[in-house]
Amino acid sequence: MLLNDAEQTPDQLNLTWTDAEHLSLEERGGRLVLSAPLDWIGTEEITWQASDPSGLSAQTPLTVSVVPSLPPSLQETPHRRGIAPGTHFILALDSLVMDPDDEAGNLRWQVSGQQQLSANLSGNRAVRIEAPGSFAGL
């Protein structure tokens, strides 16, 4: 709930704001929805005011910081695994990283650098690592 008044119901209160130079604000279903241009990063202080039908009002500042998208971070290093020639194992990728901005299903994965092993990504955010029958190594 954005607004509360002991004498009025929330639908009787009026919410206004000023000083929103870069941010767009909209009241939707009792929530204040903020959005910023894709190319803007910064901090803005908005003053929002609630008023009731009798003319009483209160205001407060709201500081909003828009930060750049943060990269995923490695949470766990895959353990060294032995693999026998002609066998494979599947590694679940979701357990390896955490992204503060995006859900796991929105991350894009890429596999590179393998020389003797075959590594194939699946749509289920897993990689299948397979050793050919002639494989000799760790």
Strand, coil or helix: 63? strand
* Whether residue 48 is found in the same domain as residue 21: yes
Q: Is 2 inside any structural domain? A: no
pLDDT, one tens digit per residue, over 30-82 is: 778 899 998 999 999 999 898 999 999 989 999 999 988 888 888 877 777 88
Range of the domain at 19: 10-66
The structure tokens 């008044």 sit at: 5
d(CA 115, CA 135): 11
Give the distance from CA 72 to its chain's centroid: 10
- Among 29, 47, 66, which residue terminates a domain? 66
Could you tell me the pTM of the whole model? 0.51
